[in-house]
Amino acid sequence: MNGTIDYLPILIQFVVAFGFVVTTLIFAGIVGPKSQGVVKDLNFECGVESVGNARAPFSVKFFLVAILFVLFDVEVIFMYPWAVNFREFEIEGLIKMFFFMGSLLLGFFYVIKKGGLDWD
Amino acid sequence: MSNGSSITLDAPPIGIEGQGYFLTSLDQVVGMARKNSLWPLPFATSCCGIEFMGTMASHYDLAQFGSERLSFSPRQADMLMVMGTIAKKMGPILRQVYTQMAEPKWVISVGACACSGGIFDSYSVLQGIDKIIPVDVYVPGCPPRPEQILDGVNRLQELVQNETIRRRDSPEYKALLRSYGIDIK
Amino acid sequence: MEVDKQKVVDSLIQQFEGNVGNIEETYGLTTLQVRKSSIFEVIKYLKEEQSFTLLTDVCGMHFPDNDPEMQFAVVYHIHNLFKNIRLRLRVFLPADNPEVDSMVDVFSSANWQERETYDFFGIIFKNHPNLVRILNMDEMEVFPLRKEFPLEDGGRIDKDDRFFGRSIHNE
């Protein structure tokens, strides 16, 4: 009978790898030479003076499309276990899943009516 | 197909070799690591840029020496390859790009125009980029053949191998930069 | 095409009596000299009445050996795409006050072309929206393509005069 203790080498290896990276980065940052200057620390703009702020407001349609995709993708994820155990769930599972999908479909109709997916 | 004697291996750094170990100095190891992974910033302006494209292509293959990843951002590049005519109007831009590179950085000036203005001895062309930034290797030619550009990179690799690791922090180096008007603390 | 070109030139002469003259034909390109005061009207007339819709180029010239009244010239190359007629118009300007009207209201492409002419010759274009240097450094104070400007860069100390034909043997 093998217990959790058999997985200890993996933990040690993970700690060593992660620790090596962190230690070398911190050590190099402390010991290494530094070089700063006014011009050097400016934002890179292909060698010319930068004008204005990079933070410009952009259209909300990108955010809406991304968020709706995430929601409906999670719904599809919930449908995968149902697909695997379809026969075991019989009619009762079917009805329950229809409830689930129906409530999300209501939300979808709301989005369409409100014009959330209009690109222009 | 071919006999193995046509292949020459690169010389190892200065050190003592033994059974399963190699004793050398940190400068040499760091130099060897740096010289075999010099990532270029191709500041290609003119015809020499086209020759550089030929050098990066598969026949002459600059990537065989470690210059696999080109970057057009100075923050991520080791060596600045200035290839082509630099006009006087372009000078401050080149200076800014060089200043914004992270240490350690090297400069190769490829082609006659970048080295000395080339045939363009006129009001608009900067007569050599070493008027505005410090240059490590000059590759003459109009344009230089890809073999010459590869030779320039190899000479730079020798410089990189033998550089001390504290050079970039030294007062002489900072004085060199200040003599070009590049203000580094 | 030749007939059309002759008709255009004749209508120009008829329309702008006394302000257009000196018609020459060099290498198949008809050149007219236009007086400075009426160049704007001439180009506007050519664009609107004669459908010369392409202003190919606006450039300058410097003749230091001419009379002081005719030292600078602005040359307009204008093209009728419908009948394939190309014309060249020259305006001579005095040396002490090289000013001429800007064509920006008629042709938008004249914007940068006049900036280039100003950058290299110092010819001022009145009513130009942004008459600053375009190809040279902004800090430059001289106008490089004038004949008195030296050909070579002045900052070099390593030139061997023999290679430039300037030694005592081939002076």
Across the interface, of A38, A44, A47, the residue whose CB is closest to B75 is A44
Read off the pLDDT of residues B88-137 as tens digits, 9 standing for 90 and up.
999 999 999 999 998 899 999 999 999 998 889 888 999 999 899 999 99
Three-state secondary-structure class, residue A47: coil
Q: Which residue of B has its CA nearest to A43?
A: B100
Q: Would the pTM count as exceeding 0.90?
A: no
Bridge-based pairing of strands C99-101 and B21-24 is unpaired
In tens, the pLDDT along C29-65 reads 899 999 999 999 999 999 998 899 999 999 999 999 9
Compare CB distances from C149 to B88, B123, B127 and report the shortest one's residue. Answer: B123
Instruction: Give the integer Cα–Cα distance in Å for C169 and C160.
Output: 13
**Taking an 8 Å Cβ-Cβ cutoff, which residues of chain B contact chain C?**
88-89, 117, 121-125, 127
For residues B1 and C161, the model is more confident at C161
What are the respective helix, strand and coil percentages of chain B, to the nearest 5? 40, 15, 45
Give me the pLDDT at residue B4, please: 62
The per-residue DSSP string of A33-46 comes to: -----TTTTSPPST
**pLDDT tens per residue, range B42-60:** 999 989 999 999 999 999 9
Treating both helix axes as pointing N-terminal to C-terminal, what angle do C39-48 and C2-15 enclose, rounded to 10 degrees? 130
Chain center to CA of A17: 25
Give the pLDDT of residue C171.
Answer: 45
Q: Which two tokens stand for residue C4?
A: 């059309």
* Tens digit of each residue's pLDDT (9 = 90 or more) over A65-117: 999 999 999 999 999 999 999 999 889 999 999 999 999 999 999 999 998 88
Which residues of A, range 80-119, sit inside 8 Å of B by Cβ? Answer: none
Q: B77 touching A, CB under 8 A?
A: no
pLDDT at B144 over 50: yes
Gap from B181 CA to chain A (nearest CA, Å):
11
Q: What average pLDDT does the segment A27-46 reach?
A: 86
Distance between CA atoms of C107 and C53, rounded to whole angstroms? 8
Q: Give average pLDDT by consecutive 10-residue segment, chain C, 171 residues.
A: 85 85 86 92 91 93 91 94 92 92 93 94 93 90 90 78 70 45
Which among C135, C149, C153 is the nearest to B121, CB-wise? C153
The pLDDT assigned to A32 comes to 81
Distance from CA of B175 to the nearest CA of A (A): 13
Residue A19 binned pLDDT confidence (cut-offs 50, 70, 90): very high
CB atoms < 10 A from the CB of C82, how many? 11
**Record: contact B96-A38, CB cut-off 8 A:** no
Question: In which band, very low, low, confident or very high, does the pLDDT at B31 lie, cut at 50, 70 and 90?
Answer: very high
* Interface mutation vs chain C, best among B123, B126, B127, most C CBs within 10 Å: B123
- Predicted local confidence at residue C13, as pLDDT: 87
- How would you classify the pairing of strands B79-83 and B106-110? parallel
Answer yes or no: is pLDDT of B1 > 60.
no
Contacts of B122 in chain C (CB under 8 A): 151-153
Closest-CA distance, A41 to chain B, in angstroms, reads 7
Q: Which residues of C touch B (CB under 8 A)?
A: 135-137, 140, 144, 149, 151-153, 155-156, 159
Q: Residue type at B167? A: R
User: Under an 8 A CB cutoff, do B127 and C156 touch?
Assistant: yes
| Contact across the interface for C152 and B125, Cβ inside 8 Å | no
CA–CA separation, C1 vs C7, rounded Å? 10
Looking at chain B, which residue has its C-alpha nearest residue A44? B100
Between chain C and chain B, are at least 3 CB pairs below 8 A? yes
Residue pair C110/C119 in contact by the 8 Å Cβ criterion: no
Q: How far is CA B183 from the centre of its chain?
A: 22
Q: What pLDDT does C15 receive?
A: 87
Instruction: Give CA–CA dist B91/B45, Å, rounded.
Output: 12
- Which of A28-42, A58-72, B167-181, C88-102 is predicted least confidently? A28-42
What is the least distance, in Å, from the CA of B74 to any CA of chain A?
8
